[in-house]
């Protein structure tokens, strides 16, 4: 049997059908190109949003004004006395370094001696304190605590005319020398006893007189670690003074606990 060419039996498609198929095929690209155009071009109006799903709701943005409230602010301050979850900060020793005690009808500040129970002072902790002290405190108090950091040196240089030695108008308050020994008592002015750990902690948080506070830049652990490192600096450079100060604190606390 001779081979049959099947194409001979297929009718040749009419010209209009070929044109229609080509136009139809090209037309299917139109939605795709429109989609891509809208996907990648900029529009002033929000895009068509068929399913709202509560995506757009009336709301007040941060820092916006609102006539609803008497003070005109949309952002509301926390209700007085409210405490954020996990921020009770209820441990006076750990979180503040002092307690308020009644003193003849008035509230007085009593600084805590020593470290809070939950703080474990080990080598790693003191090293962390060293890093934070060197970063935050040494610019003024010096790497050794003697109060001769770069800012202190520069401030002094600006306060005194180098050539004439005349004091200029600038008033410069020196950073405290953390190893100062009190002349009268022979004790370390910022050492244990005279300057309790809790007071050091509070000075770090809130500052003191001309020194700004560093509470914003430190966590609770950072501050106690800095306290531990200041004690380490003092112990390294004034070991005898430190030991006698600690003995005195111990003696006083054992008297207090036996009363």
Kindly tell me which residue out of 114, 139, 193, 215 binds ligand HEC, with binding defined by CB under 6 A.
139
Which stretch, 25-33, 96-104, 198-206, 238-246, contacts ligand HEC (CB under 6 A)? 198-206
> Residues 257, 90, 93, CA angle at the centre, nearest 5°?
40
Least distance between ligand HEC and beta carbon 254 (Å): 26
Rounded CA-CA distance 247/200 in Å is: 19
* 60 versus 126: smaller Cβ distance to ligand HEC: 126
Kindly tell me which residue out of 74, 99, 146, 151 binds ligand HEC, with binding defined by CB under 6 A.
151
Centre a 10 Å sphere on the Cβ of residue 160 and count the other Cβ atoms it contains: 15
Sign of CA dihedral 215, 220, 226, 228: positive
* 74 versus 136: smaller Cβ distance to ligand HEC: 136
245 binds ligand HEC (CB under 6 A): no
Please provide residue 207's backbone torsions phi and psi, each rounded to the nearest 5 degrees.
Answer: 75, -175
- Span 201-240, contacts to ligand HEC by CB under 6 A: 203-204, 208-211, 214, 226, 230
* 88 versus 171: smaller Cβ distance to ligand HEC: 171
- Span 163-192, contacts to ligand HEC by CB under 6 A: 173, 175-176, 190
Rounded CA-CA distance 255/159 in Å is: 48
- Span 118-137, contacts to ligand HEC by CB under 6 A: 136-137
* 142 versus 249: smaller Cβ distance to ligand HEC: 142
Least distance between ligand HEC and beta carbon 165 (Å): 23
Rounded CA-CA distance 113/178 in Å is: 17
Least distance between ligand HEC and beta carbon 102 (Å): 24
- Non-local (6+) Cβ contacts of 10 within 8 A are none
Alpha-carbon dihedral angle through residues 205, 208, 210, 212, given to the nearest 10 degrees: 0
141 binds ligand HEC (CB under 6 A): yes
Least distance between ligand HEC and beta carbon 170 (Å): 13
* 140 versus 188: smaller Cβ distance to ligand HEC: 140
Decide: residue 50, CB within 10 A, 0-12 exposed, 13-18 middle, 19+ buried.
exposed
Rounded CA-CA distance 244/259 in Å is: 23
Residues that bind ligand HEC (CB under 6 A): 136-137, 139-141, 151, 173, 175-176, 190, 200, 203-204, 208-211, 214, 226, 230
């Amino acid at each position: 049997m001779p081979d049959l060419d099947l194409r001979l039996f297929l009718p040749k498609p009419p010209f209009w059908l070929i044109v229609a198929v080509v136009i139809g095929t090209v037309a299917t690209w139109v939605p795709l190109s429109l989609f891509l155009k809208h996907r990648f071009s900029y529009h002033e109006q929000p895009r068509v949003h068929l399913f709202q799903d509560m995506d757009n709701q009336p709301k007040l943005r941060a820092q916006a004004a609102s006539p609803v409230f008497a003070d005109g602010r949309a952002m509301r301050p926390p209700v007085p006395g409210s405490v954020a979850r996990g921020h009770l900060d209820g441990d006076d020793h750990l979180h503040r370094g002092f307690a308020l005690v009644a003193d003849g009808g008035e509230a007085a500040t009593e600084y805590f001696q020593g470290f809070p129970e939950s703080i474990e002072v080990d080598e790693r902790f003191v090293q962390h304190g060293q890093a934070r002290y060197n970063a935050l405190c040494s610019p003024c108090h010096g790497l050794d605590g003697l109060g001769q950091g770069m800012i202190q040196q520069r401030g002094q240089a600006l306060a005194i005319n180098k050539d004439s030695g005349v004091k200029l108008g600038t008033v410069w308050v020196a950073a405290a020398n953390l190893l100062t020994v009190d002349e009268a008592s022979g004790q370390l002015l910022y050492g244990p006893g005279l300057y309790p750990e809790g007071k050091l902690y509070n000075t770090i948080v809130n500052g003191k007189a001309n020194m700004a506070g560093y509470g914003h830049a430190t966590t609770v652990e950072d501050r106690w670690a800095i306290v531990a490192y200041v004690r380490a600096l003092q112990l390294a450079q004034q070991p005898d003074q430190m030991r006698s100060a600690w003995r005195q604190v111990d003696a006083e606390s054992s008297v207090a606990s036996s009363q």
